[in-house]
Amino acid sequence: MSKRKKSANSGIDALLGFEFQRNCALYLLLDQYHRFSGREFFLSIEHHDDFLFCYRTDCRSNIEEVHSYQAKKLSGKVWAIDKRFSEIIAKMLEVGNDLRNDPAPKCQNYTHELTFISNSDIELKFTPNKQEKVDGKKEITILLNEQNCKRKYDSFPHEIKEKITKKVNGLCNKEEITFHKHELDNLHIQWVDFPRTKRAQKDCLVGLMRRKFPHVSDSFAAVELLLSLFREVEAIYNQGKVITLLDSSKRVEGDEIRKAIDVIETEQKTFKLWRDHSTELARRFRVPIGIQNNHENYIKNTFELLKDMMNNEHQIIKSFVRDNDYSMSYYSHEEMFEAYVSDIKSKNSINLNDIDIFFSTLCAFVEHHGKAL
Lowest mean pLDDT among 25-29, 48-52, 156-160, 251-255: 48-52
Mean pLDDT to the nearest integer, 188-214 = 91
Q: What is the pLDDT of residues 239-263, one digit of tens each?
A: 445 567 666 777 788 888 888 888 8
122/189 same-domain check: yes
Classify residue 1: in a domain, yes or no: no
Model pLDDT, residue 241: 52
pLDDT above 90 as % of the chain: 61
Q: What is the pLDDT of residues 320-368, one digit of tens each?
A: 999 999 999 999 999 999 999 999 999 999 999 999 999 999 999 999 9
Q: What is the pLDDT of residues 3-38, one digit of tens each?
A: 444 443 344 334 434 788 889 999 999 998 888 878
Classify residue 15: in a domain, yes or no: yes
Q: At what angle do helices 198-212 and 219-234 cross, to 10 degrees?
A: 120
Does residue 67 contact residue 148 with C-beta atoms inside 8 Å?
A: no
114/16 same-domain check: yes
Based on C-alpha coordinates, what's the Rg of the chain?
Answer: 26
pLDDT interval class at 213 (50, 70, 90): confident
Model pLDDT, residue 305: 94
216/359 same-domain check: no
What pTM was estimated for this model as a whole? Answer: 0.78
Classify residue 252: in a domain, yes or no: no
Flag whether pLDDT at 47 surpasses 80. Answer: no
Model pLDDT, residue 49: 58
21/125 same-domain check: yes
**Of residues 256, 98, 295, 245, the one with CA closest to residue 178:** 98
Distance from C-alpha of 124 to C-alpha of 164, rounded to nearest angstrom: 9
Model pLDDT, residue 134: 87
State how far the alpha carbon of 339 is from the alpha carbons of 318, 320, 327, in Å: 15, 12, 11
227/320 same-domain check: no
238/277 same-domain check: no
Q: Which of 217, 246, 275 is the last residue of a domain?
A: 246
Classify residue 2: in a domain, yes or no: no
Model pLDDT, residue 161: 96
Q: What is the pLDDT of residues 305-319, one digit of tens each?
A: 998 889 999 999 999
Classify residue 253: in a domain, yes or no: no
233/282 same-domain check: no
144/213 same-domain check: yes
**Of residues 364, 265, 268, the one with CA closest to residue 311:** 364
Mean pLDDT to the nearest integer, 64-75 = 90
Q: How many CB atoms lie within 10 A of CB 133?
A: 12
Classify residue 95: in a domain, yes or no: yes
State how far the alpha carbon of 104 is from the alpha carbons of 70, 97, 160, in Å: 21, 14, 35
217/181 same-domain check: yes
pLDDT interval class at 44 (50, 70, 90): confident
Helix (H, G, I), strand (E, B) or coil at 51: strand
98/205 same-domain check: yes
Classify residue 326: in a domain, yes or no: yes
227/356 same-domain check: no
Classify residue 45: in a domain, yes or no: yes
Q: Containing domain of residue 358, as a range?
A: 263-369
Distance from C-alpha of 117 to C-alpha of 256, rounded to nearest angstrom: 25
